[in-house]
Amino acid sequence: MRIIASNVRKGNIIEHEDGNLYVVLSAESFFPGKGTPTTQIDMRRLSDGNKTSVRYKTTEQVERAHVEDMNYSYLYADGDGFTFMNDDNYEQVIVSKDVLGTQAAYLQEGMKCILSLFNGVAVGIQLPARVTLEVIDTEPVTKGQTASSSYKPAKMDNGLRVMVPPHIGVGTRIVVLTEDNTYVERAKD
């Protein structure tokens, strides 16, 4: 399916002119005051993980690969990669570490994800927008600072560092956005 370059989004799988499949890491459109608008696409080749950057005219056509998006549940990680189970037919798929990249830190047992499959091989993943994590290390709670706009670093139970408000202490469960690793709110559970 051909789409114009300005409609390419992060996570899309495109078939490049060289015949290889690439996953889009970022796509940014530039509209200069004078000249032709362009779209800068950073992408990673699925076969070997090489990264490349390509600039298209905004109205140029690119070939979007036909991938199936299916619901899967995360089961466990081992030396081979990350194992997911299809919710409909209980079929298991192993996803390599390079497909997940930095998103692997957010995976929790039983988490519902959407895997993008191309010819039966996982080439991309969509995690839930928010995950609940527990703070395992941070500076002590500052009394009376509940409405401050300053933030402090906190280490989560998955190893990531998140900037949190001063009233968050060790053992507090918080909601974090998976897209940019930012604090949202205290968990309601």
pTM of the model: 0.69
Least confident of 18-27, 68-77, 146-155, 176-185: 146-155
The CATH number for 87's domain is 2.40.50.140
Its sign, for the CA torsion 96, 100, 104, 107, is: negative
Q: Tell me the per-residue pLDDT of 29-54, one tens digit each, with 9 for 90 and over.
A: 898 888 889 999 998 887 777 889 99
**Phi/psi-derived region of residue 125, left when phi > 0, alpha when psi is between -120 and 50, beta in every other case:** beta
Query: Considering only CA atoms, which of 176, 164, 172, 177 is closest in space to residue 189?
Result: 172
Q: Check residue 90 and give left, alpha or beta (phi > 0: left; psi -120 to 50: alpha).
A: left
- Same-domain status, 162 and 176: yes
Last residue of some domain: 10, 32, 64? 64
List Cα–Cα distances, 113 to 131, 148, 189, in angstroms.
12, 35, 21
Domain total of the chain: 3
Any bridge partners for residue 41, and if so which?
27, 54
Domain that holds residue 79: 68-126
Report whether pLDDT(179) > 90: no
Greater confidence, 16 or 133? 133
User: Do residues 93 and 53 both lie within one domain?
Assistant: no
Supply the pLDDT for residue 173: 92
pLDDT tens, 143-152?
Answer: 665 555 788 8
Predicted local confidence at residue 125, as pLDDT = 84
CATH number at residue 55: 2.30.30.30
Judge whether 185 and 163 are in contact, CB under 8 Å: no
The answer to whether the beta carbons of residues 45 and 20 sit under 8 Å apart is: yes
Q: 169 vs 145, which has greater pLDDT?
A: 169
- DSSP collapsed to 3 states, 20-57: CEEEEEEEEEECCCCCCCEEEEEEEECCCCCEEEEEEE
Note whether 137 and 152 are same-domain residues. yes
